[in-house]
Amino acid sequence: MTTYWAEFAILPEGLARDVSFDIEGDVFDRIETGQPQGDAHRLPGVVLPGFANTHSHAFHRALRGRTHSEGGTFWSWRSRMYDAARRLDPDNYLALARATYAEMALAGVTSVGEFHYVHHTPDGTPYANPNAMGEALQQAAREAGVRLTLLDTCYLAGGLSADGHQPLAPEQRRFGDADVSAWAGRVSNLWDDATNRVGTAIHSVRAVPREQLTDFVRYVEQGQTWQTMHAHVSEQPAENEACQAFYGMTPVQLLAEAGALGPDFSAVHATHLTDADIARLGRAHATAAFCPTTERDLADGIGPARELLDAGARLSLGSDQHAVIDPFEEVRGLESHERLRSLHRGRISQGELIAAATAHDTIGWAEAGTLREGAKADLVAVDLSSPRTAGVPAEFVLTAATAADVTDVIRDGEPVVTDRQHRLGDVGRLLHEAIDTLWED
């Protein structure tokens, strides 16, 4: 038994004072308020549940600061992303992902949903171990101290236009399996463990043709451990236009027709939705995984957050391409973007913001994401005396803090970050080494 104590903590019922946390193994055995510190380990500031980063492309971290010089759009940015993807192999991907996940841990993230589609060698030939790249990500997460849901992604076509789906381009070949059956066969050889789970993803309706979508859903329904399904949905108007031109329906309609929508489905971005799309996602009690810092960095647009919540959908948050790794910034982006589009403040409540930031269940970790007895023992301590947070009421720390204010992170009862230091040491150095090596040629 290990006991921690904090002057403030945000419990499910709200802000509490003088809180002690008894941790037995990897869960909270007892949480009590109004307690003296005694011999307990003191956590500074205010304690929050661990954050969930529900949408990550780990290798995109190597693009930070390298895509701004020529302006452009999402589609021009994508060519630079392909340049990074072609450079990856299992060894350098392990180094890059380990450092990226460690950066997330420093920011208070305890669970990550990794939307993984770099499966094979650059020419599309499988590695001797067909899951070498996915297993590198799993190892990276173990070493960095975060839980990982490997959302192994089905990617079969190179794009969609009014004339139909295009074959994979040379730069996309390493993403693709021959068909859904080949994808499912490969994924069936990935395994869960104490801190890794396997989920599934459809890259987009651009990348998985209609007839294959139905097969995909059938395979997922047959899977015994594939608890979650994610897909990029309506990130760009061009995606919607192509889907309408060829299929006569929106991406959400196409996914609904295939049977993909449900409580375990996450529509990533969900930016350019019709009213009918919002209603469908709401009726399905699906999740919209918003990535505010990426959506503004790529000039994607602002999604209908309030409308989705009111329709019955949920929200989660991800850092996607990692232009920023800061859960506080994602939270503020969610609310501030809503203010910009509505011209009203406070459209999303503090409780809804915390729920979006801690939506571990949407990536298969339902036992995490809350400071409650019996839950996974995750704690994030946030300094209340920094230049950013000094004078801020503890219950509103999400509106003021940044990742730099996270002092301590405990995942499953294990210290991962102590006094702002990650257990791997100098994370900046690890990132420099991984990224500089990747761009050497």
Supply the Cα-derived Rg of the chain in whole angstroms. 21
Q: Check residue 125 and give its pLDDT.
A: 97
SS3 30: strand
| H/E segment holding residue 118 | none
Listed in sequence order, the DSSP H helices in 223-360 are 237-247, 251-257, 275-283, 292-297, 305-311, 327-342, 350-357
Tell me how far apart the alpha carbons of residues 134 and 390 are, in angstroms, rounded to a whole number: 42
| Other C-beta atoms lying within 10 Å of the C-beta of residue 343 | 6
Residue 157: pLDDT over 80: yes
Return mean pLDDT, the chain: 96
Q: Check residue 162 and give its pLDDT.
A: 97
Q: pLDDT exceeding 90 applies to what percent of the chain?
A: 93
Active site residues: 269, 320
Q: What is the pLDDT of residues 306-328, one digit of tens each?
A: 999 999 999 999 999 999 999 99
Q: Check residue 225 and give its pLDDT.
A: 57
User: Do residues 241 and 194 lie in contact, with contact meaning Cβ atoms separated by under 8 Å?
Assistant: no
Per-residue tokens: 13: 């019922």
Tell me how far apart the alpha carbons of residues 296 and 281 are, in angstroms, rounded to a whole number: 23
| Other C-beta atoms lying within 10 Å of the C-beta of residue 42 | 11
Beta strands across the sheet bearing 314-317: 51-56, 109-116, 147-154, 196-202, 229-233, 265-269, 287-290, 314-317
- What's the rounded mean pLDDT across residues 422-429? 98
Those residues with Cβ within 8 angstroms of residue 301's Cβ, 6 or more apart along the chain or in another chain: 237, 271, 272, 295
Tell me how far apart the alpha carbons of residues 436 and 178 are, in angstroms, rounded to a whole number: 33
Per-residue tokens: 39: 């011999």
Q: Check residue 434 and give its pLDDT.
A: 98
Report the C-alpha dihedral over residues 150, 155, 158, 164, rounded to 10 degrees: -140
Q: What is the pLDDT of residues 346-362, one digit of tens each?
A: 999 999 999 999 999 99
Tell me how far apart the alpha carbons of residues 144 and 104 are, in angstroms, rounded to a whole number: 9
| Other C-beta atoms lying within 10 Å of the C-beta of residue 87 | 17
Q: pLDDT exceeding 70 applies to what percent of the chain?
A: 99
223/121: higher pLDDT: 121
Q: What is the pLDDT of residues 190-231, one digit of tens each?
A: 999 999 999 999 999 999 999 999 999 999 888 755 678 999
Confidence of residue 79 (pLDDT cuts 50, 70, 90): confident
Q: Check residue 385 and give its pLDDT.
A: 97
SS3 415: strand
Amino acid at 119: H
Q: Check residue 371 and give its pLDDT.
A: 98
Q: Check residue 284 and give its pLDDT.
A: 98
Tell me how far apart the alpha carbons of residues 326 and 293 are, in angstroms, rounded to a whole number: 9
Those residues with Cβ within 8 angstroms of residue 336's Cβ, 6 or more apart along the chain or in another chain: none
- What's the rounded mean pLDDT across residues 33-55? 97
Q: What is the pLDDT of residues 406-423, one digit of tens each?
A: 999 999 999 999 999 999
Amino acid at 75: W
Tell me how far apart the alpha carbons of residues 185 and 199 are, in angstroms, rounded to a whole number: 14
Tell me how far apart the alpha carbons of residues 378 and 370 are, in angstroms, rounded to a whole number: 8
Q: Check residue 347 and give its pLDDT.
A: 94
Q: Check residue 66 and give its pLDDT.
A: 87
- Residue 261 CA, distance from chain mean position: 19
- What's the rounded mean pLDDT across residues 254-277? 97
Residue 234: pLDDT over 70: yes
- What's the rounded mean pLDDT across residues 20-47? 97
